[in-house]
Amino acid sequence: MASALTDRLSRLVKTMRGQARITESNVQDMLREVRMALLEADVALPVVRDFIARVKEKALGQEVVGSLNPGQALVGIVHKELASTMGEGISDINLAAQPPAVILMAGLQGAGKTTTTAKLAKHLIERRKKKVLTVSADVYRPAAIEQLKTVTKQAGAEWFPSAPNQKPQDIALAALDHARRHYFDVLLVDTAGRLAIDEALMAEIRDLHAALKPVETLFVVDAMQGQDAVNTARAFKEALPLTGIVLTKLDGDSRGGAALSVRQVTGAPIKFAGVSEKIDGLEVFDADRHAGRVLG
């Protein structure tokens, strides 16, 4: 399958006939094309720089195998490095905890937290045969609590009521107590987001984390956020020990370069991808396939 990067490189390679190896002299030009392809895919600039440095190290002096020309060889190296950078780690939810296993959902408003909470509930019920409870600790938007109630019902999970006059920590602890007494395997805790990072939000979610001791703290991030995803990811990583990432809205037309940025900045594995607004629009993240998409 021809990719945008392959096309770019093969055009370039036509101008450097007869060079059977990736060399110091031709690699610079080729890496410039790789850099452009990654920036077009919205990978953040500092992340692109690091990535290019790693690829250069791997590419220099490599023999060109069989009929491959240096351009194709470099695409192979880039693809492999992208897939391994984005793909390390466990790709399913860790439930190795005394039940109920608590999963804390973190992210900006609009990232897809509530939707993903319900999608995960459905995944855990159907694939892992778990009894799942959800609760919303978003006391700022009554509509968010109602939204979680609706989508939880669609997922076939149970929902624990909460109200805007309660404290997020009290809600979470009441839900945990309920989950324990009624033998739930998993408690999914949806949290308040803001339109942008702010200190009060971070303090609140840190308190929730301390009270709940979740086995998973998932950072939900919108793939369409592009370059901004890096700053958001950094702020959440500083506030919380993230255990995984869910990249949402991959059904949109972004090339999904945010995956590489967020993975690099947080060090946490990308566990799932959101691929539609619907309750079954959640897939286990496939790094190899995603590498192909980022390269175009």
Binding residues for GTP, as ranges, are 107-114, 190-194, 248-251
**In this chain, which of 6, 214, 281, 295 binds ligand GDP, going by CB under 6 A?**
281
Rounded to 5, what percent of the chain is helix, strand, coil?
50, 15, 35
**In this chain, which of 76, 89, 110, 292 binds ligand GDP, going by CB under 6 A?**
110
**In this chain, which of 193, 226, 244, 269 binds ligand GDP, going by CB under 6 A?**
193
Compute the least distance from the CB of residue 206 to ligand GDP, in Å. Answer: 18
Compute the least distance from the CB of residue 218 to ligand GDP, in Å. Answer: 12
Q: What angle do CA 24, 26, 29 make, to 5 degrees?
A: 115
Compute the least distance from the CB of residue 32 to ligand GDP, in Å. Answer: 33
256 touches ligand GDP by CB under 6 A:
no
Tokens describing residue 175: 């839900």
Compute the least distance from the CB of residue 278 to ligand GDP, in Å. Answer: 8
154 touches ligand GDP by CB under 6 A:
no
219: helix, strand or coil: strand
Beta bridge partners of 216: 103
Compute the least distance from the CB of residue 201 to ligand GDP, in Å. Answer: 12
249 touches ligand GDP by CB under 6 A:
yes
CA atoms in the 13 A half-sphere facing the CB of 59: 31
CA atoms in the 13 A half-sphere facing the CB of 280: 2
CA pair distance 257, 48, nearest whole angstrom: 10
CA pair distance 201, 204, nearest whole angstrom: 5
71 touches ligand GDP by CB under 6 A:
no
Compute the least distance from the CB of residue 49 to ligand GDP, in Å. Answer: 29
**In this chain, which of 274, 285, 291, 295 binds ligand GDP, going by CB under 6 A?**
274
69 touches ligand GDP by CB under 6 A:
no
Distances in Å between the Cα of 116 and the Cα atoms of 42, 269, 277 are: 23, 16, 9
Which residue from 168, 162, 167, 164 is spatially nearest to 133, judged by alpha carbons? Answer: 162
**In this chain, which of 85, 232, 243, 248 binds ligand GDP, going by CB under 6 A?**
248
Compute the least distance from the CB of residue 34 to ligand GDP, in Å. Answer: 28
**In this chain, which of 3, 62, 72, 276 binds ligand GDP, going by CB under 6 A?**
276
Interaxial angle between packed helices 70-87 and 45-59, expressed in degrees from 0 to 180 and rounded to the nearest 10: 120
Tokens describing residue 209: 């984390």
152 touches ligand GDP by CB under 6 A:
no
CA pair distance 257, 37, nearest whole angstrom: 10
**In this chain, which of 26, 114, 152, 254 binds ligand GDP, going by CB under 6 A?**
114
The dihedral built from the CA positions of residue 267, 273, 102 and 207, taken in this order, carries a sign that is positive
232 touches ligand GDP by CB under 6 A:
no
Q: Which is nearer to ligand GDP, 87 or 107 (CB)?
A: 107
Q: Which is nearer to ligand GDP, 7 or 251 (CB)?
A: 251
189: helix, strand or coil: strand
Tokens describing residue 134: 């959800």
191 touches ligand GDP by CB under 6 A:
no
Residues at the site binding ligand GDP, with contacts judged by CB under 6 A: 107, 109-115, 193, 248-249, 251, 274-277, 281
